[in-house]
Amino acid sequence: MLRTLTQQRTTSKLQLALSCVIALSASASWAASPQEIKQVVESQKQSYLETLKTLVNIESGSKDLEGLNQMAKVVADQLKNVGAEVSVIESTDIYRMDDTPEKMGPIVKGVLKGQGKSKIMMIAHMDTVYERGMLKNQPFKIDGNQVYGLGIIDDKQGVAAILHVLNTLKKLNYKDYGTITVLMNSDEEISSPASRKLITETAQDQDVVLSFEGGGKDGNLRLATSGIGAAYLEIKGKSSHAGVKPEAGVNALTELSHQIAQMQNLSDPNTGLKLNWTVAEAGKTRNVIPEHAAAQADVRALRVQDFEAVEKTLNEKIKNKKLSDSQVSVKFEVRRPPLAVNDASKKLAEKAQDIYKNELNIPLTVSLTPTGGGTDAAFAGVKSKAAVIEGMGLSGDGAHSSNAEYILKDSIIPRLYLATRLIVDVSKAR
């Protein structure tokens, strides 16, 4: 009996010791110091460049389905390698706009499940603005601190950054987050018609959304962007001979001129609304009264309600016609909603500044003023109270240019380090 009791006590001690070892192992990531994180990040630099080269060498214009599917496979494989549950989604819920293609590339979604409570979302896009065949004029190359390549700043660097941040967490055996959800879409450059709904819905219950568009030359973070809209005005008239019997026609160009004149002052500097008519066409032959005319306007807004108001105004204005027999119609699109600053974003951005200043000795500017260019971060912020930060990607310049896109090599380590540290900090807070 005494022997049995002794054995039981020994077994209990062993079980307790084993439990302690397991608990310590599970929480080992808490012990990772900034210096240890930095060392692992530094070891990622060369492999990051190799991943970036692979991505740049895949031509993946927004309408290049072959290239986008190839990109999706590379990204999906890399996400699986870091332990994510991966799905490749062909979206059928599409917000169709004037330039939306019939079919679009896939969305890659990866989810890593940890043992904490934080919900973190990371987004970047796989598509570029370029046509197939342009890679030969802008190949991947390293020239000192500048790394060139087709689509390298917008947004191949962002895709690679997310993959290597996750690889850093894996090497650190860090699992104190709740979930990390990655979304990589194929239609950002055409206003995300197939992915906007998924981005918005996924972001709704997140604590943090990190968007990896480039940080510009200075690596600035952005907490606000302008919304982008478009208005399409169409006039249908009636053709006739301009010299023999012009009165038999209905001049669509005349009506178009009238409509633009009465809708040219809809901008409002008090709210930041900007509406500018930028494209127009009418007629094909000098001596024929034009039967068709059309115009397009670029619209920017800082508030969703301003888009709603301007659409209503446009529909009211077109009722006032100069030529009663003309047919006037207008269509309004929300290309991207605005991204507004919230307190959670400010707080997280302040933490990012502290990390850059105190741990990397690098100044970091955070922009609270909306910029003209919209991104997918805005879709993430539509229905979410998450801290949304744009510009988490590397420093560089030359986006949408045919021969000058580049990233700055010395921004690789700071940016991978910043994203990793923010994930750790957010997870610890939760």
Going from N- to C-terminal start, the domains of the chain cover 32-225+339-429, 227-336
Please give the pLDDT value at position 401.
81
Arch. (CATH architecture) of 32-225+339-429: 3-Layer(aba) Sandwich (3.40)
Other CB atoms closer than 10 Å to residue 170's CB: what's the count? 16
The token pair that represents 379 in the structure block: 């879709």
**Average pLDDT estimate for 87-115:** 96
Per the CB < 8 A criterion, the answer to whether 161 and 405 are in contact is no
Residues 6+ apart with CB under 8 A from 272: 226, 300, 301, 302, 303, 306, 370
Please tell me what DSSP assigns to residue 278: E
User: Active-site residues: which are they?
Assistant: 127, 188
CA 365 to chain centre: 20
Residue 387: pLDDT above 50? yes
Q: Strand 227-236 relative to strand 146-148: parallel, antiparallel, unpaired?
A: unpaired
Report the mean per-residue pLDDT for the chain.
Answer: 92
Mean pLDDT, rounded, for 177-190 = 98
More confident residue, 32 or 231: 231
Q: What is the pLDDT of residue 430?
A: 81
- For 318, the token pair is 């077109």
The bridge status of strand 141-143 relative to strand 146-148 is: antiparallel
Region of poorest pLDDT, from 107-121, 130-144, 319-333, 395-409: 395-409
Phi/psi of residue 305, each to 5°? -65, -25
Sign for the pseudo-dihedral over CA of 134, 140, 141, 146 = positive
What is the distance, to the nearest Å, from the Cα of residue 423 to the centroid of all Cα atoms in its chain? 19
CB atoms near residue 248 (< 10 Å): 11
Residue 345 has pLDDT above 60, yes or no: yes
Question: Does the fold of domain 227-336 match that of domain 32-225+339-429?
Answer: no
Task: Please give the model's pTM, rounded to 2 decimal places.
Answer: 0.88
Query: Which residues of 289-380 form beta strands (DSSP E)?
Result: 292-301, 327-336, 366-367
Phi and psi angles of residue 242, each rounded to the nearest 5 degrees, phi first: -70, -25
Whether pLDDT at 366 is above 90: yes
Q: What is the mean pLDDT of residues 241-267?
A: 97
CATH architecture label of 227-336 = 2-Layer Sandwich (3.30)
pLDDT value, residue 9:
53
Asked if the model's pLDDT at residue 373 lies above 80, the reply is no
Average pLDDT, stretch 6-31? 46
- Mean pLDDT for 329-345 is 96
Are residues 182 and 81 in contact, defined by beta-carbon separation less than 8 angstroms? no
For 191-201, how does the pLDDT look when each residue is reduced to its tens digit (9 = 90+)? 999 999 999 99
pLDDT band at 372 (very low <50, low <70, confident <90, very high): low
Instruction: Let me know the angle formed at the C-alpha of 71 by 65 and 49, rounded to the nearest 5 degrees.
Output: 145
